[in-house]
Structure 1
Amino acid sequence: MGAVIGDLLPFAVGVAISPIPIIGAILMLLGKRARTTSIGFAIGWLAGIVIATTIFVFLGGAFGDSTSTATAWIKLALGVALLAEGIREWRVRGVDHGTPKWMTAIDDMKPVTALGLGFALAAINPKNLMMCIGAGVTVGGAALSVGSDVVAVAVFSILAATTVVIPVVAYQVAADRLRGPLDRLKAWLEANNKSVMATLILVIAVVLIGKGISGLA
């Protein structure tokens, strides 16, 4: 169990420091409906992580234990896909792609819409989905008990969701104190999000490729 949790940590960090959802949460906390939309977004974000990861726990279990050839090939393929994405992110890190439309619409967003957005960024966004796939396959392939699977998914999901959920919870009790720090964090993430994400993806890609190759040896 401890070894599985250790293997999940890189994926959890990968989801946790994904800049786009953090920027989205900050924009909601600085918007007109800060309290309600941010809560909806945080719930959707956490639910998306849990559901996406759980689906791949079952799929990972269907392929056998963590030493199986199928599991090794999945990790290798996922690592190669992440490597390609990391290289692409690094190459376009200095290019301004403009502000996504959903970010400009945050002020008029309702809690249900924010919940759906949080879910989509966690469970449908390709970069975060690949992290959840990696985590799910790792848990499913470890041949743990059902209870241990639940604990592993819970630990991963909580860690992965912290950077969105903690600011939202903190805002509910100390809104005025957080406005300045949130503004500065948003500015930094907007300036550096491509570099941060590219570096992280490349590191996790190398780890996955290494695990995949060792599993095939």
Structure 2
Amino acid sequence: MGDVIGEILPLALVVAISPIPIIAAILMLLSPNAKTTGVGFLVGWIAGVVIAVVAFTLLSSLLSEDDSDTSNPVKGTIQLALGVLLILLAAKQWQARPRGQGEPELPKWMSAIDTLTTVKGLGLGFLLSALNPKNLIMAAGAGIAIGGGNLGTGETVVVIIVFTAIAASTVAVPVIGYLAAADRLAEPLEALRGWLVRENTVVMAILLLVIGVVMIGKGIGSF
């Protein structure tokens, strides 16, 4: 189980540092309906992560072979494809990095966050976690590692919980912190939002590149 957790940790970290959901969560916490929409968004985000990684884990377990020492060309091909996709995403992130002093443009839907209800916040959290292409690639990589790790049911559940806890941590921390100390967190949250908008594309590009190369290496080793 330890080896599998080691494999899924960097994948969960990439999901965790995705700038758009963190920025969305912060904007909700700075809105008039902060508590209800923030909690709804967090619940939806966690649900999306869990459903995605469970789905890929079940799919991977069907593709895995009984003897873990033998080659697994199907698994290797999937890992190679995921690695290439991650490198392409890294290149896209690098191209999108901010230049000069201007602040990068955010998605237009973020301007409507102030008007979101709890249900809409939950739905937005689910969509951003379960249907985001980058998150799906991370969930697929984690599912391959978990489903092919020859784990028991209890161990599989533990690993999925670890993945979800890490992946959801950067959304959960500001939401829970706001519920505990709303008056003191408004200014730090705004400062964090500004930093994420400016710098996170560069960090994401580097992480995606490194993990993509590692995934390709694992894919080659599966043949």
Q: Structure 2 length as normaliser, TM-score? A: 0.93
Unaligned runs of 5+ in 2: none
Partner of residue 74 from structure 1, selected from 78, 82, 94: 78
Superposition deviation, residue 194 in structure 1: 1.7
Task: Identify the residue that residue 89 of structure 1 maps to in structure 2.
Answer: 93
Give distance in 2, aligned partners of 1:121 and 1:132: 13
Show structure 1 runs of 5+ residues with no match. Answer: none
Picking from 154, 161, 177, the partner of 1:154 is 161
The two structures, once aligned, show a CA RMSD in angstroms of 1.4
Q: Does 1:100 align with 2:107?
A: yes
In 2, are the aligned partners of 1:42 and 1:164 still within 8 Å (CA)? yes
1:164 is aligned to 2:168: no
1:201 to partner: Cα distance:
1.0
Match of 1:122 in 2: 129
Q: Is residue 104–residue 197 contact of structure 2 (8 Å, CA) maintained in 1?
A: no
> Does 2:185 match 1:201?
no
Counterpart of 1:134? Answer: 141
CA contact 1:20–1:193 (8 Å) conserved in 2: no
TM-score (norm 1): 0.95
1:98 to partner: Cα distance: 2.6
- Residue in structure 2 matched with residue 29 of structure 1 by the alignment: 29
Question: Kindly, what percent of the aligned residue pairs are identical?
Answer: 51
Deviation of 1:97 after TM superposition, in Å, equals 6.3
Range moving further from structure 2, 196-205 or 168-177:
196-205
C-alpha distance after superposition, 1:13-33 (max 9, x if no partner): 000111111101100111111
Q: Equivalents in 2 of 1:5, 1:99: separation in Å?
A: 34
SS of alignment partner, residue 98 of structure 1: coil
Amino acid at match of 2:20: I
Counterparts of 1:151 and 1:171 in 2: how far apart (Å)? 28
Give the Å deviation of 1:203: 1.4
Question: Mapping of 1:46-57 within 5 angstroms?
Answer: 46-57=46-57
Whole-Å separation in 2 of the counterparts to 1:180 and 1:94: 23
My pick for the range that moved more, 160-169 or 93-102, is 93-102
The answer to whether the 8 Å contact 2:39/2:175 transfers is yes
Aligned length in residues:
216
* CA–CA separation in structure 1 for the residues paired with 2:51 and 2:111: 28
Indicate the SS of the match to 1:105: helix
What CA distance in whole angstroms lies between the structure 2 residues aligned with 1:197 and 1:33? 30
- After TM superposition, the structure 1 stretch with the greater mean CA deviation from structure 2, 188-197 or 89-98, is 89-98
Code of the residue aligned with 1:167 in structure 2: it is: P
- Moved beyond 6 Å, runs of 4+: none
